[in-house]
Amino acid sequence: MINLEVPKKFQQLVDQAHQAAEHFFRPNSRKYDRDEHTYPKELDMLAAALDGLSASGGGAGAGGVRRSPAAEKGNVNGGNLRLLLGTMEMCWGDVGLLLTMPRQGLGNAAIASVANDEQLKRYEGKWAAMAITEPDTGSDSGAIRTTAVLDGDHYVLNGEKIFVTSGERADCVVVWATLDRSKGKAAIKSFVVDRDTPGFELVRLEHKLGIRASDTAHFRLDNVRVPVENLLGSPEIETGKGFAGVMQTFDNTRPLVAAMAVGVARASLEETRRVLAEAGIEIDYDRPANTQHAAAARFLQLEADWEAAYLLSLEAAWMADNRKPNSLQASMAKAKAGRAGSDITLSCVELAAGAGYSEDSLLEKWARDSKILDIFEGTQQIQQLIVARRLLGKTSAELK
C-alpha cells in the first residue's frame, strides 16, 4: 500500500534540494532567463553536492534511475521516488536551471533505463542529452527517419534532430534512429553519440518562450560513426515486442517532467497566496468555495488540481520503485501535471493581476516556463492517446 507522505529517509535530500532552489536558483532565475545561452557556471559548484538527486548518487550509475532486478519484500521507496521529490523541490526554484544541471540530463535516464552494466560504468559521471524529435516527426516518435546502418564494428548514423535539451553542453547525446524503416517502430534503437564525434554537427541553438537558462539544440548527423557497443539494448529487431525497448525510457522520464510541472505550479500557488493575503483576501478551508471571495474560490480549485497532479506523479514513481509496470501511470501523471501546471501558472498570473504580469514577480516567468512541460516528452494529446489505448486495450494501429 502506497504511503503518500515523504519518506523520512528522503527528508534530508528534499531539504537540501529546497535550500539549493531557494538560495541559488531563485536569486539567479531572472539573470539567466534574460541572458539566454549563457551557461550558469555557478551550477558546477552545486552539481557534486546534488548528484544525490540522480541515481548516480544512489548507485545506479549514469545519472538515471534503474529498477532493481532483485526481489524485495514489502513496499520500496527507492531511486525513482527520491529523484522525483528532489526534482519537485528544484523546480520550485527554477525549471530552466534544473534542466541545465550537469549530469541530470534526460539522456541519463535513457541510459539508466536500458544500458548494460558495461555501458553504465562507461558513462557514469557523464552528462547525457536525448535526441528524439525530428523536423518531420513531431510527437510521433515512431516516424523517426534518422537511420543507423551497420558497417563492420560501427553504426553509421544520418539524419537531423531538433529540440535537444542541453544538447550543446552535454558530454554525449542519446540519439534515436531506425535500423530499418520498413520494419516500423520495432527497428528504432537508441545510440550514445559522444559530442566530439566527426559529422555530429550543431546547427543552431533555439530562442525560446521559457526555460531560457537551458540550451535547446538542433543537430545534423552526417555519416556519424558510432561503435556498436554504444547501442543501448538489443541490436535485434523484434517485431513482436514493437516499440517497447526504447519506449521504456519514457516510463522513467515522464514522471520527472510531471514533477517539474508540480514544482513550478507549487511555486506559483505559494506566491499567489501571498499576493492575495496582502490584498486582504482570505482563503478559508472550512467554508464552501462558493461562499468565499471569487479569487479565493478559484485558488481552491487550482490547489485541488495541483494535488491531483502531485499524487499521480508519486504513484508513477512508486510503481517504478516496486517493479510494477507504470507506462499508464507515467502518461497519466505527465498528462495531468503538464496541463495542470500550465493552467495553474497562467491562472495565478490572472489572480495576481498587475503583480502577476510584471517582471517584479516571478509569476509571469513561471507561466512561460511551465508551457514546455505540457509539450516535451510527449504532448498532452499524445499522453491522452496513450492512456486511451491502455484503458481500452487498443493497439497504436487500432487507435490513432
Residue 400 falls inside a structural domain: no
Residue 49 CB coordination number (10 Å): 11
Active site residue 350: no
Name the DSSP class of 226.
E
Residue 238 falls inside a structural domain: no
Domain at 56, CATH number: 1.10.540
Of 105, 122, 139, the last residue of a domain is 122
Q: Which residues pair with 193 in a beta bridge?
A: 173
Domain at 167, CATH number: 2.40.110.10
What pLDDT, in 10s, does the model give residues 230-264? 999 889 887 766 555 567 778 888 999 999 999 99
Cell of 137: 516527426
What pLDDT, in 10s, does the model give residues 333-346? 999 999 999 999 99
Residue 140 falls inside a structural domain: yes
* Cα gap 153→137, rounded to integer Å: 29
Cell of 10: 528522503
What pLDDT, in 10s, does the model give residues 123-141? 988 999 999 999 988 767 7
Considering the domain architecture, whether residues 220 and 250 belong to the same structural domain is answered as: no
* Cα gap 82→257, rounded to integer Å: 14
Considering the domain architecture, whether residues 31 and 100 belong to the same structural domain is answered as: yes
Domain span at residue 139 reads 128-232
Q: Are 316 and 67 in contact (CB under 8 A)?
A: no
Considering the domain architecture, whether residues 253 and 382 belong to the same structural domain is answered as: yes
Domain at 360, CATH number: 1.20.140.10
Residue 398 falls inside a structural domain: no
Task: Please count the structural domains in the chain.
Answer: 3
- Among 362, 365, 371, 111, which residue's Cα sits nearest to residue 260? 371
- Options 160, 168, 377, 398, the catalytic residue: 377
Considering the domain architecture, whether residues 380 and 269 belong to the same structural domain is answered as: yes
pLDDT under 70: residue ranges of the chain: 1-4, 48-74, 139, 240-246
Q: Are 386 and 396 in contact (CB under 8 A)?
A: no
Considering the domain architecture, whether residues 263 and 381 belong to the same structural domain is answered as: yes
Considering the domain architecture, whether residues 117 and 147 belong to the same structural domain is answered as: no
